Amino acid sequence: MLGFVWEFIINILEASLFFLLFNQKLRKKSLTLFYRKQAAALFVQSFLLLLCNLAKISTFYTVLLFILFHYLLAQLFYNESAFIKLFWVFIYTAATILADALTTIIPTTCFHFDLPSLLVYGTLRVPFTLVYISILGVTVLILLCITTQTFHLTKPGKFIFILLAVFCIGMEQGILTEQLYIASHTPDSHYTIFLFIIFFLVMFLFLTLTIYVYWLGMEKEKNIILTQNIVLSQMEKKQYEQIVNSANQLRHLRHDLTNHLSTLTWFLQNEQYEKANKYVQEITQHFYGFLPAISTGNSTIDSILTNKCNIAKEKEIRLEHTIHLPGFLPLSDMEICSLLGNLFDNAIESCQKVEPSLIPFIEFQMKPYHHMLTIHITNSSDGIYKKDSKGHLASSKNDRKNELPFPEHGLGLKRVQDIVSRHGGFMELLPEEERFTVSIMLPLDTKENS
């Protein structure tokens, strides 16, 4: 009975190390009673392992069973791609095999310990299982020191790594099983030394492969981030150029108005009222597109929203806006330009996808509320939304012409989220069947605002 309890305690500790590693390496799902469910899964895993030991199931099949079980746990509790989950399942499995080998192969091969004394209910089982769990714990702590940043690989690279990982783990477990069999039947066989060398050689190659694959994935991730930053810079530059062009047009308008007013004055002084009226109509028609549709007192907001309003009008999109600005804005001109520009670009793009029989619309609000700057934009939607492997909304537009590993238009909301997070704000997305809403709240500096 005491041995039964001891085995169960060791199994609980081993399962706890699994969840400790995965809770740090993978993004947890938003589950109610998350840790209680993990605790239940921990006891189930411990009980299954205990049953495998009592039934004397082959260690090879036990390892295979727990690879599948750990992957199911990863699917249940974490939000990552299938490859990322498999990657860490393989790493944890290799760690358990390594710890098992260090507490069985080395004592039996190098120090000629009696194998049955190390196995279940053996006289040396307790101290050597403590060594096992200590080695596994140290390995997990080392793995926790590795960066948790996401890494990317091509599909062929993922497939090759999975095949090699399965092959290496299978070979390691096969060698370990053979080593224990020889140690229990012919303890003095020189063949055990050969298997001992082969085991750790395969383990070294597997660890080297894993580090190399991880490095490749991290390098690709860095390249993707660099490319995204370049695209974002280009997008922000385009938005900023629109503001500059609008400002230049307004300066030209002010300069030309002086000449136009002089001409109108001459017509009126000479009582040429018909010519004056016709001239006013020509001026109005000529400058209608340049006149600011929105006047808030902030030239950056006026310029970017006027530009987007004109684009919406050209595309026959009904646009309504309510804007009340506080005395102080927490965003720089560049951030305002990028945030509002991306929100309106996404809204206009979404409106163009609705059925022709429907009238597309955009409703925009920007006002202070309880020391927060609130921004709400709602637009028509076709109700079709795509999500990436992490469950995030992704652009439904395909930018294959750019040959990028991600859709260019999908970066708009990412940039908005970056700006909001940088200022300690909140952003909520509400995708519905016929509309899509983005709600943003940014804290205002009460000292500045007062």
pLDDT of residue 239: 64
pTM, two decimal places: 0.54
CATH for 294-449 (3.30.360.10, 3.30.565.10, 3.40.50.12780, 1.20.140.10): 3.30.565.10
Give whole-number Cα distances, 204 to 95, 135, 166, 209, in Å: 12, 17, 15, 9
Q: What single-letter amino acid sits at 208?
A: T
pLDDT in tens, 110-164: 656 565 655 555 555 667 777 788 888 888 888 887 765 566 777 787 788 888 8
436 forms bridges with which residues in the sheet? Answer: 379, 431
Q: Tens of pLDDT along 200-245?
A: 788 788 878 878 887 887 787 777 777 766 766 666 666 666 666 6
pLDDT of 289 > 60? The answer is no
**Where does the pLDDT of residue 401 fall: very low under 50, low under 70, confident under 90, or very high at 90 and above?**
very low
Residue 7 has pLDDT above 80, yes or no: no
* Residue 252 binned pLDDT confidence (cut-offs 50, 70, 90): low
- Mention every residue, 6+ apart, whose C-beta is less than 8 A from residue 152: 217, 220, 221, 224, 405
Q: How far apart are CA 46 and CA 99, in angstroms?
A: 17
Q: Where do the structural domains in the chain lie, given as residue ranges?
A: 2-230, 294-449
